[in-house]
């Protein structure tokens, strides 16, 4: 079997692959896209970092390809959708850069307090200018961490060692977990208002893009110091530039940018109170060696027909089990995603119940799919079928799995319930129906519905009164949104009713506001499966 190592990984990782019987390793660092297309025609695996792009075109040119391994976390340079369609496993190494990124973050924090890079540059220029490089101390200052995952947690430990008070905003983190880590869980507004230093450690998603913008910066203390070693786009760069110039932000440290590489003419380069690094988060010898060896071992396991680890597009199970469980995995992922979008941000427990055939099978992979589906809009690319249980545990969410022998209205049924801290339950149920056993959602929050488990959904709770369905249809029609299908459910005439509308395209913000503002509509959620 041929393995193309397209980007330079640890020599120990390459050596490990060469030592495996039956493997031929091709090292082709810095190849042009045209050269990559030529090289992949008979390869079974590709190892990359972030330089080489594995596009749909590349996969089409590689009929024997079984696995793409990314030595690092982000898989932005791999077309995961195309890989999934072709049955190609895409894997990453999510834990290998944790310490490296945490240490770089804290280096930026230290440089934000004491202008060491600027002072060093002046010394090399032949100057001796002590008065212009005065700093402040970290001791007894407040650090606000936005996102208390693996890296945020490591940063918190280092801040505590420096005698800092640590605040954390993470809407998915249970209070008990924050207490165990000896940090104060607060709202984002509280963190912005009370922090002397702020560092962000969230994945870049629709919810986190521009989380720190003009309005957020205006809530901060004058002279706050801000740091981003996570993903470009969490902090709005235009807002940060203005705040640095006005003095609202005293100093900043950036390792990531909205567009990379950072443009030569970027205004950030001219500001004296900003320390810039060229996306060095994982650039330590230890981190690169770790992820290089780890991805080599994972690729070897897949090609040998063994277990699949850290897959971002499929569960860690063997091919025989996957053939049986495949349809349930897809349904489970969508039910998890649906429940996360209709539940509040913070939940205490996730309860999964199986009826029928799944009650007799090893449904662990399906449970993992549900967990990953629930987390994928929260944790982004970091979460996969392997680490989903650990991410939930880190958030303080208890997972309960029940296999029921009780009667249900369906031969097979999966129920996913999110239990809020106040005991309120948010739920969805799904099964397979029809000649081709298509996945269907058959209940939401206890209301019977029946809609395809795919695409985009409007989930509406409304007063059961004439004209509501027509009003929703009119608003969507005026917005050029086509309705694929619709399901209506009510318990009693004139009471509350559920309306689930599957649409072909996303309604505009204006259309959503009109729907939410319609008098009979009590709750309106737009859900993407």
What does the DSSP 8-state code read for residue 307?
Answer: -
In 204-292, which ranges are E strands? 224-228, 249-254, 274-276
Q: What gap in Å lies between CA 112 and CA 273, rounded to an integer?
A: 8
Closest to 418 measured CA to CA, from 348, 318, 323: 348
User: Would the CA dihedral through 269, 188, 142, 204 be positive or negative?
Assistant: negative
Q: What is the DSSP string of 235-246?
A: B-HHHHHHHHHH
User: Would the CA dihedral through 195, 200, 201, 202 be positive or negative?
Assistant: positive
Q: What gap in Å lies between CA 84 and CA 330, rounded to an integer?
A: 12
**Catalytically annotated residue among 279, 351, 438, 490:** 279
Tokens of 418: 């999110």
Annotation marks residue 447 as catalytic: no
Radius of gyration of the chain (CA): 25
Q: Residue 200 burial by CB count (10 A; 0-12/13-18/19+): exposed, middle or buried?
A: buried
Closest to 321 measured CA to CA, from 355, 362, 360, 369: 362
Q: What gap in Å lies between CA 348 and CA 25, rounded to an integer?
A: 47
Annotation marks residue 502 as catalytic: no
CB of 430 within 8 A of CB of 331? yes
**Catalytically annotated residue among 44, 177, 231, 502:** 231
Q: What φ, ψ does residue 497 adopt, rounded to 5°?
A: -140, 160
CB of 172 within 8 A of CB of 345? yes
Closest to 230 measured CA to CA, from 207, 206, 261, 209: 209
Q: What gap in Å lies between CA 526 and CA 481, rounded to an integer?
A: 13
Q: Tell me how far CA of residue 162 lies from CA of 141, 185, 225, 352, 446, in angstroms.
A: 9, 19, 16, 42, 50
Annotation marks residue 260 as catalytic: yes
Tokens of 215: 């309005």
Q: What gap in Å lies between CA 314 and CA 326, rounded to an integer?
A: 9
**Catalytically annotated residue among 38, 260, 286, 400:** 260
* Number of Cβ within a 10 Å radius of residue 431: 24
Residue positions annotated with a catalytic role: 231, 260, 279
């Amino acid at each position: 079997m041929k393995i193309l190592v397209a980007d330079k990984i640890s020599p120990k990782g390459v050596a490990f692959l060469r030592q495996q019987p039956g493997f031929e390793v091709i090292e082709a660092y810095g190849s042009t896209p045209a050269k990559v297309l030529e090289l992949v025609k008979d390869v079974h695996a590709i190892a990359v970092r972030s330089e080489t792009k594995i596009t749909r075109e590349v996969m089409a040119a590689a009929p024997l390809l079984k696995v793409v391994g990314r030595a690092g976390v982000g898989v932005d340079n791999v077309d995961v959708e195309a890989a999934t369609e072709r049955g190609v496993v895409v894997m990453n190494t999510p834990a290998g850069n944790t310490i490296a990124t945490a240490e770089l973050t804290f280096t930026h924090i230290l440089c934000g307090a004491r202008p060491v890079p600027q002072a060093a540059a002046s010394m090399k220029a032949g100057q001796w200018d002590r008065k212009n490089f005065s700093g402040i101390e970290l001791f007894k200052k407040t650090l606000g961490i936005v996102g208390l995952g693996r890296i945020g947690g490591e940063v918190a430990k280092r801040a505590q060692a420096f005698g800092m008070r640590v605040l954390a905003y993470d809407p998915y983190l249970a209070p008990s977990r924050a207490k165990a880590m000896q940090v104060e869980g607060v709202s984002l507004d509280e963190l912005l208002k009370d922090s002397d230093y702020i560092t962000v450690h969230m994945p870049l998603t629709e919810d986190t893009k521009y989380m720190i913008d003009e309005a957020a910066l205006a809530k901060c203390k004058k002279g706050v110091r801000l740091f981003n070693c996570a993903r470009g786009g969490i902090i709005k760069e235009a807002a940060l530039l203005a705040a640095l110039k006005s003095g609202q932000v005293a100093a900043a440290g950036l390792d990531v940018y909205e567009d990379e590489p950072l443009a030569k003419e970027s205004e950030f380069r001219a500001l004296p109170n900003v320390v810039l690094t060229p996306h060095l988060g994982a650039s330590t010898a230890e981190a690169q060696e770790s992820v290089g060896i780890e991805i080599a071992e994972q690729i070897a396991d897949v090609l040998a027909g063994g277990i699949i680890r850290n897959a971002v597009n499929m569960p860690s199970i063997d091919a025989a089990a996957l053939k049986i469980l495949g349809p349930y995995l897809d349904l489970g992922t969508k039910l998890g995603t649906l429940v996360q979008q209709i539940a509040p941000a913070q939940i205490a427990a996730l309860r999964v119940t199986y009826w029928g055939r799944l009650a007799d099978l090893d449904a662990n992979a399906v449970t993992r799919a549900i967990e990953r589906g629930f987390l994928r809009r929260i944790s982004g690319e970091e979460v996969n079928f392997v680490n989903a249980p650990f991410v939930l545990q880190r958030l303080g969410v208890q997972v309960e799995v029940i296999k029921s022998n009780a009667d249900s209205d369906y031969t097979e049924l999966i129920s996913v319930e999110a239990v809020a801290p106040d005991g309120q339950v948010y739920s969805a149920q799904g099964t397979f129906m029809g000649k081709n056993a298509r996945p269907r959602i058959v209940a939401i929050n206890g209301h019977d519905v029946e809609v395809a488990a795919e695409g985009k959904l409007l989930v509406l709770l409304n007063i059961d009164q004439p004209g509501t369905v027509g009003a929703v249809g009119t608003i969507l029609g005026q917005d050029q949104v086509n309705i694929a299908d619709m399901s209506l459910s009510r318990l009693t005439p004139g009471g509350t009713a559920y309306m689930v509308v599957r649409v072909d395209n996303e309604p505009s913000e204006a259309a959503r506001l009109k729907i939410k503002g319609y008098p009979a509509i009590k709750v309106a959620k737009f859900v993407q499966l």
